[in-house]
Amino acid sequence: MNYHKYYPVDVVNGTGTRCTLFVSGCIHQCRGCYNQSTWKLDSGIPFTQELEDKIIEDLNDTEIKRQGLSLSGGDPLHPNNVPHILKLVKRVKNECPGKDIWLWTGYKISELNEAQKEVVSYLDVMIDGKFVQELKDLSLHWRGSSNQIIHRFTI
């Protein structure tokens, strides 16, 4: 898996102070996508074991308290990303007690395969669906267009 950006301290992608990872790879090709540079799987730079360890360390940092981890892109549920994202979300739930996980995907929840659903089982919040330019609404929180749905599984 490749990624474009990792923000160890972020306050705009989800509630509270968070760690946020933007991964590479997206098949959805939404018109008006704000992040087209992330579409190609081989764009960005490799997601390493060192970065995975750093995310866990940042989430457990007691100086700057984070509420949790946000995963966006690109699409964290692109089939090529799923094994890496699954490993990461499992670690967060096992090693970072009390931290929540938010994930943005262009798939609708009803379209997910079994491997993608396994990732979802570790999430607290998921925002699903493609960005639809005709339904763009700047007043919405955490989503770009009104067709997208915020699934709150635990919070």
Q: Which of 23, 26, 82, 92 binds ligand SF4 (CB under 6 A)?
A: 26
Report which of 72, 57, 97, 78 is spatially closest to residue 13, judged by C-alpha positions: 72
Interface with ligand SF4 by CB under 6 A: which range of 8-16, 25-33, 58-66, 82-90? 25-33
Of these, 68, 73, 82, 103, which contacts ligand SF4 (CB under 6 A)? 73
Least gap, CB of 26 to ligand SF4 (angstroms): 3
- Interaction between residue 29 and ligand SF4 (CB under 6 A): yes
Q: Is 74 in the site for ligand SF4 (CB under 6 A)?
A: yes
3-state secondary structure of 50: helix
Q: What is the DSSP string of 80-148?
A: TTHHHHHHHHHHHHHHSTT-EEEEE-SS-GGG--HHHHHHHTT-SEEEES---GGGB-TTSSS-SBTT-
Among 17, 35, 80, 147, binds ligand SF4 (CB under 6 A): 35
Strand partners, 125: 102, 152
Shortest Å distance, C-beta 21 to ligand SF4: 14
Cβ distance 25 to 8 under 8 Å?
Answer: no
Tell me whether residue 65 or residue 136 sits nearer to ligand SF4 (CB atom): 136
